[in-house]
Amino acid sequence: MYRPCYTRPIVSSGSIRITLVRHGESVANRTQRWQGQGDSALSELGVQQAQAFAERMRGRHFDLVVASDLERASMTASALGRPFERDSSLREFDIGAWEGLTREQVAERFGDELARLDAGEDVALGGGESYGSFCVRVDGAIERLRARLEPGQHALVVCHGGVIGALVSGALALRGVRELPIGRPFNTSITELSFASDGSTTLHVFNDSLHLLACMQFPLPVELLHALGLVCGGVPHPSYGAFAAHYDAELHREELALQSRPELRFATLFERVRLRHPESRVALSAAAERIHAWTHETLWRELPELPRLAPPRPGSLCHVGRYGERIVLLDYGIAR
């Protein structure tokens, strides 16, 4: 069976790199219950995911490996077979009394909190943390980690979906956006950030779960099964899975209306492809510059473009999908 290696993003030698990995599926994930700082071991599938992640990381050098001290993160880090530190400040969002409840139970018991959240209030969920206090905690954890690293060094952090989401939204200057244009981190997905000496942060990889092919599960999340895959030049590699159709932005310019309307907004192009192939995963190849522009539009829409997203590497893949009325970036920088 093909096992993807992990291709390192091109990063300035003077930058500090931090690779973030979400834990494998936990028992609470499997039963679809709210999970914050309560301990829950990995499910049988979660153990397999952790092993697939560890295989993908084999041979990679990290100057420091740190994990949340919650069991599901520590179990995932243990699969690496190398020493690591445990840090309680990397724990998941504290959801207080929501812990262990189903979504239906939360809606029934905490309707007032949900209404306040919908109104834009920064609520301490279940008496636990508010989003603002949570971000202060995880930002502080990463700042302390960075202070321990020299330029050019690289750390691996095994943590939680909420932690990764908060750090990525902060890096992309998207905190405070009502409906985030990024997908949820998948179990054992890889996300990589670099921090330059001038204070800037760049996202190179987001939500890469290609190693789950080793479990015969790529693409696993249902979001990817109905997404548009943007391939940086050429046809998608076989390891990226099957696509219902494949278009090339240059060869099919007239068909996609890119010839007559080079300024065509990506949202319009996305809808045009989706109408042709509803409920299917479709590939669209384009040059790095075009994919970079499309992903910028997806993330920031009318806001000025910011140098916070690295250009895609040749042969890499990202997925764009829809959550309700939103077009979101599901992953980025996937490379075999």
Q: Which residues are catalytic?
A: 23, 92
* CA 216 to chain CA mean position, Å: 20
Q: Find all residues with CB under 8 Å of 122, minimum gap 6, and list them.
A: 130, 131, 132
Which structure tokens are listed for 144? 């302390």
256 in Cβ contact with 274 (< 8 Å): no
Which structure tokens are listed for 154? 């690289």
Residue 295 has what DSSP assignment? Answer: H
Report which residue type is found at 323: Y
Q: List C-alpha distances in Å: 142 to 89, 138, 163, 305, 307.
A: 9, 6, 10, 25, 21
> Which residue do the tokens 């190398």 mark?
82
Give the other-Cβ count within 10 Å of 277's Cβ: 15
The CA-based dihedral angle spanning residues 241, 245, 249, 255, taken in that order and rounded to the nearest 10 degrees: -170
Q: Where are the alpha helices (DSSP H) in the chain?
A: 27-30, 44-57, 71-78, 103-109, 111-118, 131-147, 161-171, 222-225, 266-276, 288-300
What DSSP line would sit under 229-253, residue for residue? EEEESSSPPGGG---SEEEETTTTT
